[in-house]
């Protein structure tokens, strides 16, 4: 480890929250917002995919720079980045599928391969994929790169099951929820590796949230409940906002271990 990395390690506290029930609640809601907000901006507000993509990518990059420069976990800043990266990941998939005509099968496989490469590079360089070890800038950048492609892949996979395979949004959401439940059983009963369990569940929450978002927002004739992108986005953003306030005050999701103990 270089001197710069040792200095980084000594100065940075854990940059991610503890994995609690609140983590999964906000994560799923953020993925839902990513789906509905992307549609709201590009379609409902008629900004178009290109303008929306440039605008939200710029906002996300700015937020990420602030996040990386911050030396500790700040709930509001961290979850703002998750919501923004969810929207950007959705837009990446939508640009390829709707803008360039790439099939959902192709984008799902491509994003899956890219995500695998990110994990491989991360593990080769850091020897761990644990989110409890995000205590250097390089590890944090690997972390956000992995999250970006989980969102992009999840968008494509969710749309693939719900639309291309004609499973329907509600049924697709149920299928992904069942998969997450199976991972939980494997983790708690069979003792599946905790890091592997986390990332498998994390990846699957994206298509779960995307399917829920589409199910709530899409018109009834298209297999949804007809809430619309505005109502769905506002409700989920409000819940995220309230939970983040609670976590900021209670500090119940802050990892108590020092970086040297990881």
Asked whether the predicted pLDDT for residue 258 surpasses 50, the reply is no
If 0-12 CB within 10 Å is exposed, 13-18 middle and 19+ buried, where does residue 250 land? Answer: exposed
Least Cα distance to 16 among 2, 26, 6, 1 occurs for: 26
Is this prediction's pTM over 0.95? no
What local confidence, expressed as pLDDT, does residue 10 receive?
39
| Dist CA 39 CA 242 (whole Å) | 24
pLDDT band at 228 (very low <50, low <70, confident <90, very high): confident
In sign, the C-alpha dihedral spanning 125, 202, 29, 167 is positive
Treating both helix axes as pointing N-terminal to C-terminal, what angle do 194-217 and 137-159 enclose, rounded to 10 degrees?
50
pLDDT at res. 12: 55
The whole-number average pLDDT for the span 159-183 is 88
Question: Could you tell me which residue, 164 or 104, shows the higher pLDDT?
Answer: 104
Average pLDDT over the chain, rounded to an integer:
87
Average pLDDT over residues 154-172: 84
Can you tell me which residue has the tokens 């986390």?
198
pLDDT of residue 94: 87
pLDDT at 221 over 60: yes
The stretch 158-186 carries a mean pLDDT of 89
Residue that is written with structure tokens 């890091």 in the block: 195
Question: What's the pLDDT tens digit per position in 26-71?
Answer: 999 998 888 788 888 887 777 888 888 999 999 999 999 999 999 8
Q: Is 230 exposed, middle or buried (0-12, 13-18, 19+ CB in 10 A)?
A: middle
pLDDT given at position 13: 57
In angstroms and rounded to an integer, the radius of gyration of the C-alpha atoms of the chain is: 18
């Amino acid at each position: 480890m270089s001197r710069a990395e040792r200095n980084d390690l000594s100065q940075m506290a854990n940059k991610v929250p503890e994995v609690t029930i609140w983590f999964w609640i906000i994560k799923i809601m953020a993925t839902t917002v990513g789906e509905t907000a992307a549609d709201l901006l590009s379609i409902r507000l008629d900004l178009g995919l290109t303008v929306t993509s440039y605008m939200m990518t710029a906002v996300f990059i700015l937020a990420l720079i602030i996040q990386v420069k911050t030396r500790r976990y700040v709930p509001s800043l961290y979850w703002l980045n998750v919501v923004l990266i969810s929207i950007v990941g959705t837009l990446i998939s939508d640009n390829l599928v709707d803008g360039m005509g790439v099939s959902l099968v192709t984008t799902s496989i491509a994003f899956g391969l890219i995500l695998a490469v990110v994990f491989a590079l991360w593990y080769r360089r850091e020897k761990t994929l644990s989110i409890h070890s995000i205590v250097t800038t390089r590890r944090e950048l690997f972390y956000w790169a992995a999250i970006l492609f989980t969102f992009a892949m999840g968008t494509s996979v969710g749309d693939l099951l719900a639309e291309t395979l004609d499973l329907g949004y509600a049924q697709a959401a149920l299928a992904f929820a069942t998969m997450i439940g199976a991972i939980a059983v494997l983790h708690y009963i069979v003792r599946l590796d905790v890091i592997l369990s986390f990332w498998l569940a994390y990846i699957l929450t994206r298509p779960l949230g995307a399917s829920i978002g589409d199910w709530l927002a899409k018109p009834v004739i298209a297999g949804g409940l007809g809430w619309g992108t505005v109502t769905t986005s506002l409700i989920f953003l409000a819940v995220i906002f309230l939970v983040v306030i609670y976590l900021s005050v209670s500090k119940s999701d802050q990892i108590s271990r020092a970086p040297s103990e990881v």
